[in-house]
Structure 1
Amino acid sequence: MHCQTIVLGAGIVGVCTALHLQARGVEVILIDRQPPGNGTSHGNAGLIERSSVIPYAFPRELSSLVRYSLNQQSDVRYSWRYLPKVAPWLFTYWQNSSPTRLNQAARAMLPLVQRCVDEHDALIEAAGMGHLIKANGWIEVFRNQPAFSTAQADARALQPYGLRYEVLDGEQLREREPSLSDQAVGGIHWLDPKTVSDPGALTRGYAALFIKRGGRFIQGDALTLKHLDGRWQVLTEQGPVSAEQAVIALGPQAPELFKQLGYRIPLAIKRGYHMHYSSLDDAQLQHSICDAQGGYVLAPMAQGIRLTTGIEFAESSDQANDIQLSRCEALARKLYPLGERLDPEPWLGRRPCLPDMRPVIGPAAHHPGLWFNFGHAHHGLTLGPVSGRLLAEMLTGAPTFTDPAPYSAQRFH
């Protein structure tokens, strides 16, 4: 089989890349070992995060560093065995989290974040996925007054970005979410983001739109990618597929492929977990809730109340463990009347992260026809459509809606 472009990876980024290429007249075959939407795209907190204009930075305060070094926190934990391996990456991440470099990262990411909802909206309408979407934002809650006061000051500092939000005292918060306990002294309701009640189903809906429009999805092994006689070839269940262009959109699996092609891109994995719960006493959750201090999100999902954890630094292939989820669950039960666990075991996901807090989007320097689109960290769902658009504009030679230079893989060389 032959086509113009192979897209490797059927998560939200790969599917959206395929859709945008297809919309520009490119014949695309989408390839993954699993059906669309079964990886990290399936298990996130379901936020289309328009308000996240400042990237998640490494803490710089000495008090925070000491606290995290004890490895007892709910929002971040690490495997002692893995720490020596990831330490150089963490140091680079810390360097890039200085105020000056964090400001540079925020400026670089802003064109993507600003368009994230609009790009999703277009695909949601075309794919008929509106039933999965809520446009009521999400609420950040705080368990003590000093943290709440700091958050309000931080929100005011974002005024130049034009974000819409409401500050809620404890009484106003419980008017909006009656089932929350008085553990929360207040909250900030971010109004611009949208939420998704089943992120995996949204990705599968986008993939169905791609197929409806004439695209093909084939299960195959991206790691078999080879450059033969001027074309890229991948082995699939339906035989070899070749194309003039290939896009690596494999998220956390991308290093397995780009390393064997000779590229040194410092992509690391932040692991995270989710579990679904019932609600006690007919409680209902109307909004996604982020416990900013606890480092977890509670979200009303099709499968129940989904608790999504923060960050675990451990070997990608290590077995899942219950430590971080149990810590977050204990905090969440004080905030909201969670019932029993609904899943037989925790879901483990892997977020592909780069130390300068921006993805790699663009051409591979040493292989004509090879393209990269990965490293979206905590915002793969948010940025899938908009980064797919940018990659498609670059690949087809169209004018790009923003300067792609900040996302070039060449920045690491």
Structure 2
Amino acid sequence: MTTKKKTQTQSFDVMVLGAGIVGVSTALHLRRLGLDVALVDRRHPGEEASYGNAGIVQRNGFVPHAVPVRPLQLLGIALGRSSAVTLDPATVIRMLPWLRQYHLASTARGAEAYSRVIAPLRAFAVAEHLELARTTNADRFYRQGGWLHLYRSEAAFRAGEAERQYARVFGVAYKELSDGDLAGLEPGLLAAGLKGVHWPESRSVSNPGAVVDAFWRGFIREGGCSLRGDAQRLTRQRGAWQLPCERSDVFARHVVVALGAWSGDLLKKLGETYPHAVKRGYHRHYRPVSGASLSRPVVDVENGFALTPTDNGIRLTTGVELAPRDAPVNPAVIRRALRRAEELFPLGQPLQEDVWLGCRPCLPDSLPVVGPSPATPGLWLNFGHAHDGFTLGPVTGRLLASMIAGTKPLLDPAGLSPARFLS
């Protein structure tokens, strides 16, 4: 006769669901405020979108990404020639109401509202990264030197003036560069005919996944608990949250949803719906040809891709693919980005066979939701960072942790409140 082993139970102040940079940073800040914290994910920390990004901590970025509207842009997208945007027609049809909201939020009025909320976050972003890095032995991955925005046409350069205008308003340094200046700063670039902007106050990292892993190890060293579990099994019982994990059942008074592109799935089960969409993106590493190198990330603004020097070669990250979140990899996306990238930098052989695919969680105003659920006590949200998850994870993690702990937040969180989506 066999006896069924009794399931162990553990109780915590807060359960953080999702171990990307947003969830790990939130858990670490909560632990430093003296709370007992369980961090739960189905995979090892930092293996989703936090792993595959361009590794940039942006000090700039005061204008939301806009929907392409120029006729040549739209034609290239429709014909499947664009490396900036790839579309699955059925997905786009389903997304039309969301895309309309997104477009309105990227107009001049929308950009003004966005800039007022995002500027304080960006003002703290670099310092928050460096502080977590210093205290978790991750500082070896960080480097100075900023990053470069490259423009192939005068029209694209002029279109970037709004971003530069807001940078002047908020006191963020930049320098406009000719092709000769670009060649002097990055000799490996094929810079003839290009214009550029150097953003020197931004930072970059040589291994985004390793950064998240270091933050997580710091959380464990400081007394945090990390567990494997499926967040979709979360339930609420008698005013507390319960989740069965691999080693035990977890109970907590508060739960943080930091599941990135999977946040909407859980929230819908809990009776809450947010206008949440997903942008897919890819990367692959390449060995540069002999003698070629980059010392900082560069982004081709018109074509949507970035090239970042990493610990494992040059990482090519693509533009946006609008397709079902769980659809198979589309190899055409990385092929188109590679063709355009080789016009700017002599990439050599790929260093791995497989292409990495990740999903960016996006809300129509391009801002995350950070704060308490307006409908469910004990439920806290920290997701929807879009293209800025790596940049903003540490600062929104600190912001939310202070709200949960009841301490004074480092900035006014009102513009990020989930209540802004209440009808």
User: TM-score per shorter chain, which class?
Assistant: over 0.9
Q: 1:161-180 residue pairs with structure 2 within 5 A?
A: 161-180=170-189
Question: In the aligned structure 2, how far is the partner of 1:18 from the partner of 1:387?
Answer: 11
Q: Secondary structure at the match of 1:335?
A: coil
Question: In the aligned structure 2, how far is the partner of 1:59 from the partner of 1:108?
Answer: 23
Query: CA offsets per residue over residues 135-164 of structure 1, 9 Å max, x none?
Result: 110011122344345546752553111111
CA change 1:64–1:244 in 2 (3 A) is same
* 2:349 is the alignment partner of 1:312: no
Residue 282 of structure 2 corresponds to: 273
Question: In the aligned structure 2, how far is the partner of 1:283 from the partner of 1:125?
Answer: 31
Query: CA offsets per residue over residues 151-191 of structure 1, 9 Å max, x none?
Result: 46752553111111122211121111111114452311111
Residue 6 of structure 2 corresponds to: none
2:136 to 107, 124, 127: 127
Whether the 8 Å contact between 1:60 and 1:94 is mirrored in structure 2 is no
Whether the 8 Å contact between 1:3 and 1:242 is mirrored in structure 2 is yes
2:209 to 200, 216, 219: 200
Q: 1:129-168 residue pairs with structure 2 within 5 A?
A: 129-148=138-157, 150-151=159-160, 154-156=163-165, 158-168=167-177
Question: In the aligned structure 1, how far is the partner of 2:76 from the partner of 2:107?
Answer: 19
Q: 1:275-354 residue pairs with structure 2 within 5 A?
A: 275-354=284-363
Residue 419 of structure 2 corresponds to: 410
Question: In the aligned structure 2, how far is the partner of 1:151 from the partner of 1:184?
Answer: 17
Q: 1:230-245 residue pairs with structure 2 within 5 A?
A: 230-245=239-254
* 2:393 is the alignment partner of 1:384: yes
Q: Secondary structure at the match of 2:213?
A: helix
Question: In the aligned structure 2, how far is the partner of 1:16 from the partner of 1:275?
Answer: 26
User: How well do the aligned residues superpose, as a CA RMSD in angstroms?
Assistant: 1.6
Question: In the aligned structure 1, how far is the partner of 2:329 from the partner of 2:192?
Answer: 30
Residue 111 of structure 2 corresponds to: 102
Cα shift at 1:386: 0.4
Residue 221 of structure 2 corresponds to: 212
CA change 1:179–1:85 in 2 (3 A) is same
Question: In the aligned structure 2, how far is the partner of 1:54 from the partner of 1:149?
Answer: 14
Q: Secondary structure at the match of 1:259?
A: helix
Query: CA offsets per residue over residues 44-97 of structure 1, 9 Å max, x none?
Result: 000001111222232455665555444431101111232221122111111222
Question: In the aligned structure 1, how far is the partner of 2:192 from the partner of 2:94?
Answer: 38
* 2:46 is the alignment partner of 1:32: no
Question: In the aligned structure 2, how far is the partner of 1:88 from the partner of 1:71?
Answer: 23
Q: Secondary structure at the match of 1:319?
A: coil
Unaligned runs of 5+ in 1: none
Question: In the aligned structure 1, how far is the partner of 2:138 from the partner of 2:50?
Answer: 16
- The alignment-based identity, stated in percent, is 39
The one-letter code of the counterpart of 2:97 is P
Whether the 8 Å contact between 1:271 and 1:348 is mirrored in structure 2 is yes
Unaligned runs of 5+ in 2: 1-9
Question: In the aligned structure 2, how far is the partner of 1:265 from the partner of 1:150?
Answer: 31
Q: Secondary structure at the match of 2:188?
A: coil
The one-letter code of the counterpart of 1:246 is V
Question: In the aligned structure 2, how far is the partner of 1:94 from the partner of 1:147?
Answer: 18
Query: CA offsets per residue over residues 216-269 of structure 1, 9 Å max, x none?
Result: 111111111111122111110012100111101100110110000011101100
Aligned residues: 413
With 263-272 and 50-59 compared, the bigger mean Cα shift is at 50-59
The one-letter code of the counterpart of 1:295 is G
